[in-house]
Structure 1
Amino acid sequence: MRLQTIVALTDFSTAAEHALDRAALLAAEHKARLHLLFGAEQPDPKFVDPQARLEQRARQLARRHDLPVKALAYRGAGVVDEVLRAAVGADLLVLDKRAHQGVEQLWRGGTLSQILRRSPCPVLVVQRAAREAYAHVLLAVDFSPAADAMVRYASGLDTAAAVELFHAVDLRDEAKLRSAEASAQAVRAWRAQMQRHAHDRLVRLSDAFEARRNRVGMTVGMGDVARQVAVQQERSGAELVALMHRRRGWMLDLLLGSVAQRLLGDVGCDVLVYPHDYAGAAPRGTTAQPRVARRWTQAI
C-alpha cells in the first residue's frame, strides 16, 4: 500500500504543528504529495496573514523532506467543510485532537467528531511530537468484512514497524450466562472458547503479513473495546493505534459517543481512524517484501 496524497490541517498551535510534522514524515516515506490547509475555530490574532504563514510552512517542509508540498487556499466555508473538501481524493487526512468547540458544535459535535463522521478517507489524529517513524502499531480489529482492508492499510503506513493485531471479546453474552445462573465452570469454558475463536480469526487476518519482515503479534482481550485497547496500548507502548470507525448520526454520537472518541480520551499516542465504508480500501500499489520472521500470541 502506498499513499499518494496526504492532507494535513493546522491552526499553527503546537499540537497542530506536531500533526504537520507527522504528515511530512509519512509523505516522505511514501513519496506522496502533501497538501496543507489552515483552519481554526478560534483564529489567533497574532497570525495576521495565515495563508502567507501556511505557504512559508509548505516551503520549509518541502526543503526539509525533499517532497512536493502545496498550501491549499482557505475559502472561508468553515473548518469542517474546508477539510472535507480538501480530503476528497486524498489517501489520508492528518490533524491534531481539537478539544475546543463553539456553541453550535455542542449539538453537532466538535470539529474532530464531525470530521470522523464524514471524512472520505482515513483520519490520523496526532497526539505526540513526531520525531521518528512508528516502531509499534496496535491494530484493533472487529472481524467485520472491512477488517482485512483496514489491517493492510494501517500496517502499510510504516512497513518497518512491529504490528500487533488486537481483538476485545464482547462480554455481553457472558452477562447473559451469568443472569441465567450458569456455573462458574461454564463461564470459564465460554471465555476459553471465545478466546480460541478470536485467536483463530486473528491468525487468518495475519496472513496479510506473510510478506512482512517484522514481527506480527496477536493479542485477545476481554471486555469494553475502548478500555481494553487503551490498556493494551499502555502495556505494549505502541506509538500508533488503528481502529475501525462505523459512521452514525450526530445524535447517536452525542448520546453514546464513538469508540474512536472514547479511545482518544484514554490514550496519549496517535490514533488512526479507518472508516468502515472507505471507498479507497483496495490498495493502489504493493511492494514485494521478505516473509514474516515469526508470530507471537498472548491473551489478556
Structure 2
Amino acid sequence: MNIQSILAVTDLSAPGLRTVVRAASIASAHGALLKIMYAPPGFAGPADANAAAGLGAVCVDAAERFGILVKKVDTTHGGLEGAAEEAGWCDLVVIADDPDRSATGFFLGQPAERLLRKARKPVLVVRLDARANGYRRVLVAVDLMDESRPLVDLACAFDSAADIELFHAFNAMHEGKLRQADVSVHVIDAYRHACARHARDRMLWLSDATTARRNRVVSSIGRGDPARQAAVQQQYTNADLLVVGKRRGTALMDFLFGSVALRVLRWSTSDVLVVPHGALAQWQGRRAAAPAQ
C-alpha cells in the first residue's frame, strides 16, 4: 500500500491519543505525512475551546517522538463533513473505536462507519495500543471475488513485517433449499464438498497471486456467516489487525440488510482496516502506473 499521507481524527481523549500514536507509527514506517484533526466525540456538538491548544501539543509530540512530518488540521467545527473533506486528500484515515449510543449512532452507524461511507477512503479503526514494531498478525477476510486480489496485496504492503492469514467462510446458500426439496443426503454432501473445493482452489489462487513473501502467508477456510466467522477467527488466532473490503452501500441499506464489513467491525476485538472497493481500484491503478523498480 503506497501511503503518502495519513489523517488521524482524535477527540484528545485517551482512546483518541492512542489513535494518534498508531497513525504516527504507520506514518513512520511508510515515510508518510501525518495530518492530525480534532473532532468532538461522535462528530457531535461544538468543538472544545481548548482543542486548538491541545491539538498543537499533540502534533509537536508526535513529530518529535516518531521523527515524522506532522501537520495540524485547523477546523472550526470538527464535524463529519470537515473530516470527510480532509480525508479526500489522504490515503488512509485513522480513527478510534468510539461507540455512539445516540439515535444517530443507531440509525446511521458509528462514527467510523459514517466517515467510511462519506469519505470512501480506507479507514483504520483503532482499539489496541500501538506496538513499537507494528502489527504482529494480520487476518484478511476475503470473499474469493476478483476484488480480493488487490485487497490481499494491499494488506501485505500495509505492514511488511506482519504474518498474513487469508480467511474465507463459505456458506452453502442453496443447501437449505435442497433439503426442502427432499434431495438425497448424498447429493447434499456432494454439493457441500463442491463448495469447499471451490473455496480451496480460490484461496490457493489468492495466496499464489500475492506479492508478499510466501512463508508469511497462510490461508484457512471456515463455514457459516462470513462476518461472524471472521470475527471468531480473529479472536482464535489473536490477530491484532483484521482487513476487510466493503462494497458501496447507503446508510439505509447497511441498516436494513447489514454489511459484512460493518458486522466484522462491530464483532471483532482487534484493530480493523475497512477498505472500500472504490479505494481498492484507485490503489490498484496507482500501483500499476508506478514505474518498475
Partner amino acid, structure 2, of 1:281 = W
With a CA cutoff of 8 Å and minimum separation of 6, indicate the structure with the bigger relative contact order.
1
Q: Bigger shift: 214-223 or 174-183?
A: 174-183
- Gap regions ≥5 residues in structure 2: none
Classify 1:91/1:239 alpha carbon distance in 2 versus 1 (closer, same or farther; 3 Å).
Answer: same
Aligned sequence identity (%): 37
Partner of 1:280: 282
Is the Cα–Cα contact under 8 Å of residues 140 and 229 in structure 1 kept in the other structure? yes
Q: Deviations over 1:167-198 (max 9, x none)?
A: 11123222222222223332222222211111
Q: Bigger shift: 145-154 or 3-12?
A: 145-154
Following TM superposition, by how much is the alpha carbon of 1:210 offset from its aligned partner in structure 2, in angstroms? Answer: 4.6
Partner of 1:150: 151
Q: Deviations over 1:76-107 (max 9, x none)?
A: 2x521111111113111110122125445544
Partner of 2:243: 242
Following TM superposition, by how much is the alpha carbon of 1:46 offset from its aligned partner in structure 2, in angstroms? Answer: 11
Partner of 1:13: 13
Partner of 2:61: 60
Following TM superposition, by how much is the alpha carbon of 1:111 offset from its aligned partner in structure 2, in angstroms? Answer: 2.2
Is the Cα–Cα contact under 8 Å of residues 40 and 46 in structure 2 kept in the other structure? no
Partner of 1:297: none
Report the Cα distance in structure 1 between the residues aligned to 2:139 and 2:40, rounded to whole angstroms: 30
Report the Cα distance in structure 2 between the residues aligned to 1:147 and 1:47, rounded to whole angstroms: 41
Following TM superposition, by how much is the alpha carbon of 1:286 offset from its aligned partner in structure 2, in angstroms? Answer: 8.9
Partner of 1:259: 260
Classify 1:105/1:161 alpha carbon distance in 2 versus 1 (closer, same or farther; 3 Å).
Answer: closer
Classify 1:19/1:215 alpha carbon distance in 2 versus 1 (closer, same or farther; 3 Å).
Answer: same
Partner of 1:108: 108
- Gap regions ≥5 residues in structure 1: 289-300
Partner amino acid, structure 1, of 2:143 = D
Report the Cα distance in structure 1 between the residues aligned to 2:267 and 2:68, rounded to whole angstroms: 34
SS of equivalent to 2:174: helix
Question: Alignment length, in residue pairs?
Answer: 287
Report the Cα distance in structure 2 between the residues aligned to 1:141 and 1:46, rounded to whole angstroms: 39
Following TM superposition, by how much is the alpha carbon of 1:112 offset from its aligned partner in structure 2, in angstroms? Answer: 2.2
Q: Bigger shift: 55-64 or 36-45?
A: 36-45
Partner of 2:167: 166
Report the Cα distance in structure 2 between the residues aligned to 1:69 and 1:201, rounded to whole angstroms: 42
Partner of 2:217: 216
Following TM superposition, by how much is the alpha carbon of 1:274 offset from its aligned partner in structure 2, in angstroms? Answer: 0.7
Is the Cα–Cα contact under 8 Å of residues 21 and 130 in structure 1 kept in the other structure? yes
Is the Cα–Cα contact under 8 Å of residues 123 and 274 in structure 1 kept in the other structure? yes
Report the Cα distance in structure 1 between the residues aligned to 2:191 and 2:181, rounded to whole angstroms: 14
Partner of 1:34: 34
Give the helix-richer structure, 1 or 2: 2
Q: Deviations over 1:35-61 (max 9, x none)?
A: 001001478999532012111111101
Report the Cα distance in structure 1 between the residues aligned to 2:45 and 2:214, rounded to whole angstroms: 46
Is the Cα–Cα contact under 8 Å of residues 172 and 195 in structure 2 kept in the other structure? no
Partner of 2:98: 98
Is the Cα–Cα contact under 8 Å of residues 168 and 228 in structure 1 kept in the other structure? yes
Partner of 1:134: 135
TM-score (norm 2): 0.90
SS of equivalent to 1:81: helix
Report the Cα distance in structure 1 between the residues aligned to 2:242 and 2:214, rounded to whole angstroms: 20
Is the Cα–Cα contact under 8 Å of residues 160 and 213 in structure 1 kept in the other structure? no
